[in-house]
Structure 1
Amino acid sequence: MFRLKLIYLFFFFITELQAGGIKGIITNSKGERLPFTSIIVKGQNSGTMANAEGEYLLNLKPGTYEVNFQFLGYKTLIRRVTIAEDFIELNIKLEEQSVSLKEVKISSKEEDPAYTIMRKAIAKSKIHQKQVISYQAKAYVKNSVLLNKIPLVLRKDLNKQNIKEGVPFLSESVMEISYAQPNSKYTKVFGQKSTFEGISMSDGFYLFDFYDPGTNRVSPLSPLAFKYYRFEYEGFFEDRGMIVNKIKILPKSYGDGVWQGTIHIIDNYWNIHSIDVETIDNGLNLKLSQYYGPIEKVWLPINQRLDFSGKLFGFDFMIKAQVNANYSAIKTNPAFVEEIKLIDETKEGKFQDPLSKKSLKDSKTENLLKEQKEFSIKNIRKIMKDFEKEERKQAKEKNKDLDVVSNEIIEIDPQARTRDSTFWSNIRNIPLTVEEKKSYQFGDSIKVARVQKKDSLKKDSVRKSWQYFIMNYDFKLKNGKYLHFEPPYMPLVGLNYNSVEGIVADLGLGYKNHTLFSPRVRFKYNVYGNIRYAFEEKGVRGRLGFEFEKSGSKLTVGLGKYITQFDPNSFIFEWMNSVTTLLNEQNFLKIYDKKYGTLGYAFEKDPRLTLSTNIEIAERSPLENLNKIYTIKDFEKNGFSINNPPSIELGNGAFQKHTAFIWQGQMRWTPSSKVSIRNGIRKILAGKAPAITLTYKKGMIDADFDYLSLNVKQNISLGQLGKLDYMIEAGDFFNNRKVYLMDMKHINNNYLNALQTGLFARYRLLNTRVPVEGEENITYINQYRFSTKGAYLQGHVINEFKKLLLTQVPLARIWGLKEDIFVNYLNSPSLKNYVEIGYGIDGILKALRLEAITSYENGKYQRWGFKLGVTM
């Protein structure tokens, strides 16, 4: 096997290094350079793309070729060239394409001819998706990031890291791809090069598939296209002996996920010739151009250019990406490359279609398409629908997972980042521009300076890396393992302040054999620990944990004596609490002391079904606020709150030291969900069914309770109406003889606590300064006030509209603004039939959200208010 890999690599490189080819500049009749022109070699399944300056370079073996030069709006030029061992300079001048109009009558009563063309193209889109059974491709990917503006507060720090305005960051890769229907793809990256060592953005082979209806973005070839778009026929032109129709895409409501631009459809074949479109992605601009080429009787995307730009958090940026693919070993389905005639009955009238329900049921798709050459659009849809049913049936018989929509493996060659300049000068398909060359020169100068500094200080590579170890960091060791470090001396990282412990220094260490970006290991393990010192208490706490994961099973073990928040799912970070305590006189962090041992096990054969169990025995002790709590600024309206917060149901929050044995079991089931797999890691995609979570928790020894809950959650796309998110949960402590605050059901009433369940699943007006009975003079915010130990029902529904009020204005959608209406409901022993109704504007300055809310209890109006928070 190793020898085969060596031979494969040898031929991969030798075919590139020995090649000659053509190079030059592409201009129009005025001498203006034409950037990103597509260059395709006829009959060779290969090609390239010009760079932003109109320069091109194409490696070719000795021989004679016909080379097509293609640019949108210009005539395709075919040049015959003979290649020896060297490069030939061939400058190209393209002529503007004259678009002709067919003799058609268009009036207010007549339908635009574009609709007939698009109906046929949409009907055949499934066929074009199924044409290629498998292929191999060699791809070149280049990305560049240019920061036109950096926020003033970050400019100095980023400049120290050599990230500067006007200096592009460049990344390029060369890879081999193997694809097989329906969803299998293997990518091997052989070469990586970037401006800054160790950073790459070009490891994936990504081409937009406009034959796919789309989920986040609606393709103009989607079956739902006519609900989102209008189409205008702009004429036709000839290209390589074929008629190409030019269709303008006009969105009915331009905004996120909706395209506008031009698509070119080849007459009679009804496939994509090329496409030039743009859309909005959360207020950012995305422009895309694709050029297709004829390969083995099918048209495949060969070149793609993508521009992604906008302003975000004070940054003004531009990302440019180019992808060039050269295909080989293409295997096609003969039935789907057959020439057939489509009849649009809507426009062209009915015809005698011999295809009956019986023949459709009894005949195979391949035979139907071979024997019959003329179909109505309606019947071609039926044929493809039946074909997909047959595919699913066959996959089920072979025990294949029908819900896996993609299964991808990306492997990076160990030598990928060490390829020399000779390799890149011979294999690079798209020449570097002047700015891109400067980017590499800038990066090389940084690397040289680092080497010189390293030599002068006589530090080896491992000691050099420790310079980055000052901050919170995953440090890669020589054996491929990782050491995690959280320094106790860094403010807001390991050095914090709270009202109970005062100044605390927390040292965190971890050791693991994987990171999020290197998941391909037989098994994963992670050992972590913390040592925590509280200066006011003059006490030390610590904890130790171990995680082991293999084949969907995960074992966790933990023990220690450490501080714990009353809400175990709380996301009130220590650094946030340090800031609010010192600067705003609000101590949100509520903690107790816990001496514990825990053991957990989770089993996930598939991400759609997860079973987990956990046991813990803990000695839990109360902690009190310090006598003197320091603050930088005093706020009369705030005031520090007690550390053991009261609740309506428990009353006083004080508790005695006690021992509790807690067992929890949980099942999470997401039926009928689609799954994507990347390097063995499975991810659930939005499906037609909700995620259902059943939880049971039992408290023993000093604690005595039984808790059961059922949670249902789903994200639903509503097409033109937008999207709907909902979460409903019902629960009950059917035994609550002894429930402590840390065991209660906590109600999500602020942004921080809601991060786990989703920002939408929270109550807006429950964290107002309303005093608890018996504490009328205290007006601090108490997020535990409505915690419950009884039966409860909560629901959260939010509908994000594509167009509502402000978003009726196209400019608002272009800015990325979104509007939604939401309803929150809660019924518990302390709060009866509580309802919040609100309206939100999301995406303000790409980061902020403004809400107006009103609340009711038992049908009676309570209060209203505004909330400003982070975008959802």
Structure 2
Amino acid sequence: MKQFLLLIFILSAYCSYAGGVRGVVRNEKGEPLPYSTIYVKETGSGTTTNDQAYYEINLDPGNYQLIFQFVGYASLTKEVIVEEGFVDLDVKLESQVIMLRDIEVRAGKEDPAYTIMRKAIAKSKFHTQQIDKYTAKVYMKGTGKLKDYPFLMKGQIKKAGIDPDRVFITESVSEVEYIRPNTYNEKVISIYTTGDNRNTMPNPYINGSFYEPELAKCVSPLSPKAFSYYKFRYEGTYQDQGVEVSKIRVIPRSKGDNVFRGVINIVEDYWSIYSLNLHVTKFGVDFHIKQVYKPIEEGVWLPVTHKFHVEGKVLGFEFEGDYLATVNNYEVQVNPDLDMQIEVIDEKVEEELAEKLQEQVQDEDEKEIQEILTSGKEVTRKQLKKVLKAYEKDELRESDNADILTNRTFEIDSNAYSHDSLYWAKIRPVPLNKGEKRGYDILDSLNQVREREENGDTLRNTKRKGVHFQDLVLGNRYDLGDKAYLKIRSPFLGFNYNTVEGFNLDYKLTYSKTFNKKSWLSVSPLLRYAFARKKLSGTLRTHYGFGDNDSRNNLILTAGRYVNQFNRDNPIHPYINTFMSLFAERNYMKIYEQDFVNLAYEKNWNEEVRLKLNSELSRRRQLHNNTDFTIFDWSGKYFTSNTPVSLELANTSFPENNALLLGGEIEYKPFIKYAIYNDKKIAINDSSPIFAVSYKKGISSVFNSEVDYDLLEVSYKDQYKLGIRGLLDVYLKAGIFLNSKKMYFTDYKHFLGGRTPFTTLDPVGSFRLLDYYAYSTNDQYFAGNANYQFRQLLVTRIPIVRLSGVRENFFVNYLANDVSSNYTELGYGINYIFRVFRLELVTAFKEGKYEDWGVRVGIASNLGSIF
């Protein structure tokens, strides 16, 4: 009874002090306007209505001005006095009265949208440099819902406790800080979620800006190259909150991924964003973005609300989600060098004035142009671009972190999960809808069940202890304290077939232990049983890592008996070889056995330079076919000997021999860029070309080694963006055997060929039709691969195909050595089928004459570069 009375007292006290403003926002027809923006002028805070157009703002007693906004409607300012309790304030917004400028638009005349956008684009770099620092508090809410899923996944979906009608929701409040040019710090101070209360990560605040040339690898309408991607249409100008705003329709020149469509509103004279309502499609998933900006300082417009809606279908899973962020308590430090008003002149429209301004500074340097800027005079777009570029270059020159593109910290306060529902009811700026409330109700019931299970209070406790038989068969991972774990890989993942071993089974365990932040140890025993040979083999791999993250050292010792492909780069995946052998009677994979000890050392001096050293002592022996079993026995005998066929070496069989091999490689990325996350430096892929030099030596007469050769190889790999549509990948490799006195076929240089219709190899650096060993060599060689990805070519001219994310490729592969006869492959491919696959048609030539053709299916190229 005492506890009950205390609860009543707390609730009554809370209710007596709770107050603010609440209501519904509608249009003149009485229709609700969901996600309308409400800005409280006195507190500098922004919020939105929910999906039912209802809002509720907690405010202390006092007088307030509330500004209501919705894209396409005139903003409305309401004054309200808050005392005790809530003030009910329903609002009706009128459609925006848009006036066309007094501009004559006729055939041959340019749409006035273009001069507006030219000025806004010219000013975009100014806006990114305008603020030295800001801090703010951000409320974020992310919701998601699984709408449909494949029928075959129904059991697993239910087992995971996922209800298609259930809304998953996460709320958080963060303190954010931005420091020019690229530092973002975020501290999450409270979290409320329908996931595991301690393990669900909150949504981070999205700091991407439409003033940047790209946003999530999509071309911004304010990018310097926007006119190559977009057409713009002027739809009128309106007065709102004391400024003049122009409404511009953004129209992609070619519909497809990575281009926006919709409306962007530009503040005249400031040429900043007032609001935007844009869509973009990435791989068939549609993103709808709404942002509303406010003048936080004179001439400084920053977003106060973000609304993202995403929906799509991936591999049969249909989903939708929403991300909402409201920003308040802005504190801004303006860059004193750019604390000015600038009147931008468009050379294409105001020709005489632009020519006059250009004459004034045509012999001046950037410093004097800067003086003109600070004086507040007019400048042309070209002058503004020139001085901002020089300004940015000077800052980069003085900076010690010119190669850092972003520096972000993300921290969760230790008390973030401890706040109760009363706390959230008070601070939540956007009321929950019915679906979100139901999601939280389900969370509460699930958490209660989970707590009872953990405390052993239920009739059925599903937690198991120890290793069970099904884990030995299906695999599992066991945490052994905070810094160690044991992982059992399912033997089914290592179950394969080849004509040498028949069916074979790999069974692998991994024990890993972290000693501290700078060192860890991993031990992995592996057993392999070959049923046709009735032979057990295996290896033991020990990996010790030590050093800082950006200068990591890896020492790897592996020993045992195992089988290898003649090409140690493994051109044929065991799964594909299993399928081809059992169903097509083709045994392309050729293997041999070795007893070996291998010691490798890898050192990252930094992300620019990487060193690899390798030494191996082995006893190698040839293997022969032991079975011709196949599920489909085709007419004729298609299985071949386990001895590869080579044009250079008449007989590739070899006697049992010893080999001592030493090798090293230096990899250099001279222009690598980085992102820093929580003080961890992370290299950005494809930000630099990769140069590599490797050397391999076969040493004779040491430990009875019977090989004597020297191989030197150099390589170059890079990716280029060409024009507005193209992505070119290039991989060049050349090598020479400086000495080949004593070699076996296992020591020859082999190339990544392809004879199966399926491939798992990197499409840049591999061949599609090349025989695996016919062109192997112990002389000099050159291999080149070029893969050009088109945004629009043949089938991608169809909008629905392009919008699904499909791309087309044209590629050339070339091999030159003493036996290859200038082997060349020309191919056409369709990329990102169902988002992850590629289909290719390839033709091969020798000395320019037709040789062969084929169809290949593989994993999409450039898959990592699209996100």
TM-score (norm 2): 0.87
**Matching residue's letter, 1:23:** R
Q: In the alignment, which residue of structure 2 is the partner of 1:614?
A: 614
Pair 1:460–1:317, CA change in 2 (3 A): closer
Alignment of 1:304-453 (within 5 A): 304-351=306-353, 352-353=356-357, 355-357=360-362, 359-363=364-368, 365=370, 367-395=371-399, 400-417=400-417, 419-453=419-453
Which one of 801, 807, 829 corresponds to residue 818 of structure 1?
A: 807
The residue aligned with 2:4 is none
Counterpart in 2 of 1:287? 288
Cα distance between partner residues in 1 of 2:247 and 2:773: 62
The aligned residue for residue 541 of structure 2 is: 544
Which of the numbers 527, 530, 547 marks the counterpart of 2:525? Answer: 530
1:850 aligns with 2:854: no
Change (3 A) 1:475 1:681: farther
Structure 2 residue 555 is matched with structure 1 residue 556: yes
| Worse-matched range after superposition: 193-202 or 254-263 | 193-202
**What is the distance in 2 between the residues matched to 1:553 and 1:451?**
42
After superposition, the Cα gap between the structure-2 partners of 1:413 and 1:232, relative to the gap in structure 1 and judged at 3 Å, is same
Which residue identity lines up with residue 361 of structure 1 in the other structure? E
The 3 A distance-change label for structure 1 pair 485 and 823 is same
**Contact (CA 8 Å) 2:17, 2:85: kept in 1 or not?**
no
Taking only aligned residues, the RMSD between alpha carbons, in angstroms, comes to: 3.3
Q: Could you report, residue by residue, the CA deviation over 1:801-841 in whole angstroms, capped at 9, with x for unpaired residues?
A: 22222223333322322222211111123312011112222
Tell me how far 1:220 sits from its aligned partner: 1.0
Change beyond 3 A, Cα 1:695–1:452 = same
Change (3 A) 1:101 1:607: same
| Among 685, 707, 714, the residue aligned to 2:718 | 714
CA displacement, residues 227-267 of structure 1 (integer Å, 9 cap, x when unaligned): 22111110011221111100011121121211111110001
Once the two structures are superposed, residues 255-308 of structure 1 have per-residue CA deviations (whole angstroms, 9 ceiling, x without a partner) of: 121111111000110000111111221233222111112212311122222223
Check whether the contact 2:726–2:790 (CA below 8 A) recurs between aligned residues: yes
CA–CA distance in 2 between the matches of 1:94 and 1:638?
80
Cα displacement (A) at 1:164: 4.2
The structural deviation recorded for 1:856 is 0.9
Instruction: Report what 1:780 is aligned to.
Output: none
Cα offset for 1:590? 4.5
Q: For 1:143-188, what per-residue CA distance to the aligned partner results, in whole angstroms no more than 9, with x for missing partners?
A: 2332222112222222211234343333333322222111122222
Cα displacement (A) at 1:202: 3.8
Alpha-carbon deviation of 1:61?
4.3
The range that moved more, 131-140 or 572-581, is 572-581
What letter corresponds to residue 382 of structure 1 in structure 2? Answer: K
CA distance in 1, matches of 2:275, 2:651: 70
- Counterpart pick for 1:828 among 817, 837, 845: 817
Residue 377 and residue 309 in structure 1: after superposition, are their counterparts in 2 closer, same or farther (change >3 A)?
A: same
Distance 2:171 2:479 in 1: 23
Structure 1: how far apart are the matches of 2:327 and 2:755?
A: 45
How far apart are residue 508 of structure 1 and its match?
Answer: 1.5
- Distance (Å, rounded) in 2 between the aligned partners of 1:86 and 1:461: 48
Query: In the TM superposition, what whole-angstrom CA distance separates every residue of 1:355-389 from its partner, at most 9, and x where no partner exists?
Result: 52565434484x54332332122211121122112
Which amino acid is 2:267 matched to?
Answer: I
The 1:612/1:108 distance shift into structure 2, 3 A limit, reads same
Shift of 1:105: 0.6
Question: What percentage of residue pairs aligned between the two structures are identical?
Answer: 33
* Alpha-carbon distance change, 301 to 104 in structure 1, aligned in 2, over 3 angstroms: same
Deviation at 1:556, TM superposition (A): 1.6
1:90-129 equivalence runs, <5 A: 90-129=89-128
CA distance in 2, matches of 1:637, 1:140: 70
Find the residue that maps to 1:842 and give its secondary structure. Answer: strand
SS of aligned partner of 1:76: strand
Task: Give the structure 2 partner of residue 296 of structure 1.
Answer: 297
Change (3 A) 1:749 1:497: closer
Give per-residue Cα distances to partners, 1:108-167, cap 9 Å, x unaligned.
Answer: 122111111111101111110011111223223332332222112222222211234343
* Structure 1 residue runs without a partner (length 5+): 1-14, 515-520, 768-782
Q: CA deviation at 1:755?
A: 8.4
Q: Distance in 2 between matches of 1:590 and 1:420?
A: 64
Distance 1:832 1:42 in 2: 76
Aligned partner of residue 510 in structure 1, secondary structure: strand
Shift of 1:631: 4.9
Contact 1:304 1:323 in 2 (8 A): yes
Gap change, CA 1:459 and 1:150, over 3 Å in 2: closer
Farther-moved stretch of structure 1 (122-131 vs 46-55): 46-55
The ranges of structure 1 where at least 4 consecutive aligned residues each deviate by more than 6 angstroms after the TM superposition are 464-470, 751-757
Following superposition, the deviation at residue 732 of structure 1 comes to 1.8
The DSSP-based 3-state class of the residue aligned with 1:720 is: coil
Which residue pairs with 1:798 in the alignment? 787
Q: Following TM superposition, by how much is the alpha carbon of 1:450 offset from its aligned partner in structure 2, in angstroms?
A: 4.2
Distance 1:832 1:163, change over 3 A: farther
Work out the CA distance in 2 between the residues paired with 1:164 and 1:577.
40
Q: CA deviation at 1:557?
A: 2.4
Is structure 2 residue 867 aligned with structure 1 residue 866?
A: no
Change (3 A) 1:548 1:320: same
- Report how far residue 94 of structure 1 moved: 2.0
SS of residue paired to 2:390: helix
- Structure 2 counterparts to residues 572-651 of structure 1, below 5 A: 572-574=572-574, 577-578=577-578, 581-582=581-582, 585-586=585-586, 590-625=590-625, 627-628=626-627, 631-636=630-635, 639-643=638-642, 645-651=644-650
Aligned residues: 826
Distance 1:473 1:136, change over 3 A: farther
1:372-423 deviation per Cα after TM superposition (whole angstroms, max 9, x unaligned): 332122211121122112212222xxxx131211122223344545544344
| 2:740 maps to which of 736, 739, 742 | 736
In the alignment, residue 264 of structure 2 is paired with which amino acid?
I
The C-alpha deviation readout for 1:763-792, integer Å capped at 9, x for no partner, is 22225xxxxxxxxxxxxxxx3443333221
Change (3 A) 1:579 1:764: closer
What is aligned with 2:7? Answer: none
Partner of 1:665: 664
1:252 corresponds to = 253
Alpha-carbon spacing, 1:831–1:67, altered in 2? closer, same or farther (3 Å): same
What is the distance in 2 between the residues matched to 1:571 and 1:854? 19
Report how far residue 96 of structure 1 moved: 1.7
Q: CA deviation at 1:561?
A: 0.9
Aligned pairs for 1:783-794 (under 5 A) are 783-794=772-783
Question: Do the aligned residues in 1 keep the contact of 2:721 with 2:728 (CA within 8 Å)?
Answer: yes
**Distance in 2 between the 1:638 and 1:73 partners?**
73
Q: CA deviation at 1:578?
A: 4.9
Contact 1:486 1:494 in 2 (8 A): no
CA distance in 1, matches of 2:185, 2:470: 34
1:266 matches 2:255 = no
